[in-house]
Amino acid sequence: MSIERPYVILNAAVTADGKTDTIARQGAAISSPLDLARVDRLRAGSDAIMVGGRTLLGDDPRLIVKTEALRAERRARGLDENPIKVGVVTNANALRLDGRFMTFGPARRIVFTTDQTDQAQVERLREREIEVVVLGAQRVDLTAALHYLKQAGVQHLLVEGGGVLNAELLRKNLVDEIHLYIAPLIFGGVSAPTFVSGDGWLRDEALQLQLAAVERVDDGIVVHYVPQTV
C-alpha cells in the first residue's frame, strides 16, 4: 500500500447477476439483516466512507454508524462517533442542503468536486461546515482526493459505490480489498447498475482478483477479494 493514500475497501451488495440496483435506480434494498450489521461494523472500523456522485445525489445516503454500541465504542477509542462522510461529485449544484448526507450525524463531511460546481453553491456548502475541495475540471482527481484524505488523518477508507466510482478506483489501482454480499436475487435489466461499470476491460486486460474469504450470511454469501496489481 502506498503511504500517500488510505487503505481502501470497496464494499457492495449485489444480486446474483451482479446488479447493485434495479432499472428504477431508486436504491433498492439488497442486503439481508446480518449483512446490514456486517456493513455497520465495517463503517465503525473506518475513518471515512466515500460514495460517488450519482449515489450521493440519487440515494442521498446517511452514511452513519447505525448501532449505538458501535458509536459508543468509537467514542471510547477517542474517535468521532461517525466516520467522515465523503462525496465525489462532478457537479454539486443539486446537492440538497436539507438531505440525509448533509443533515445526519454528527459527522465531518467532505465533498470533492470540480470547477463545474457554481461558486455560490460552494459557499452555501461551506457555510454549513462542509469541506468543499475542488479537484479538477471534468472529473474529480481521485488520486489527489485520496491523498487529501490521508493528509486529513484517514487511514482506512470504506467506499460504498456506485459502479462508476468503483471502476475508476480499480482502474487507478487504488483498491486494497473488495467485499461483496451476493444476495439470492436477480434484478436483470441492461440499464440496471452493476458493481463495476465505466468503460470496461477486454479479456486480456481484465482485473485479476485473489479470493481471500467466503462466508455464508443469511441466505447470501460474502466474498472477500484482493485485487492483484501487475
C-alpha cell at 208: 485479476
* CB contact at 8 A, 37 and 12: no
Q: Does 179 bind ligand NAP (CB under 6 A)?
A: no
Query: For ligand NAP, what does the binding mask look like between residues 100 and 139, x meaning CB under 6 A?
Result: ---------------------------------------x
Q: Does 162 bind ligand NAP (CB under 6 A)?
A: yes
Residue 134 and residue 148: Cα distance in Å, rounded? 11
Residue 170 and residue 22: Cα distance in Å, rounded? 23
CB of 194 to ligand NAP, least distance (A): 8
Residue 79 and residue 87: Cα distance in Å, rounded? 21
Kind and range of the H or E element at 207? none
Q: Which amino acid is at 84?
A: I
Q: Which one, 73 or 221, has the nearer CB to ligand NAP?
A: 221
Largest CA distance in the chain: 49
Residue 94 and residue 30: Cα distance in Å, rounded? 26
User: Which one of 147, 197, 209, 218 is in contact with ligand NAP (CB under 6 A)?
Assistant: 197
Select from 17-25, 41-49, 72-80, 100-108 the region that touches ligand NAP (CB under 6 A). Answer: 17-25
Q: Which of residues 44-73 bind ligand NAP (CB under 6 A)?
A: 51-55, 58-59
Q: Does 87 bind ligand NAP (CB under 6 A)?
A: no
Q: Which residues bind ligand NAP (CB under 6 A)?
A: 12-13, 20-21, 25, 27, 30, 51-55, 58-59, 88-91, 139-140, 142, 160-165, 168, 193, 197
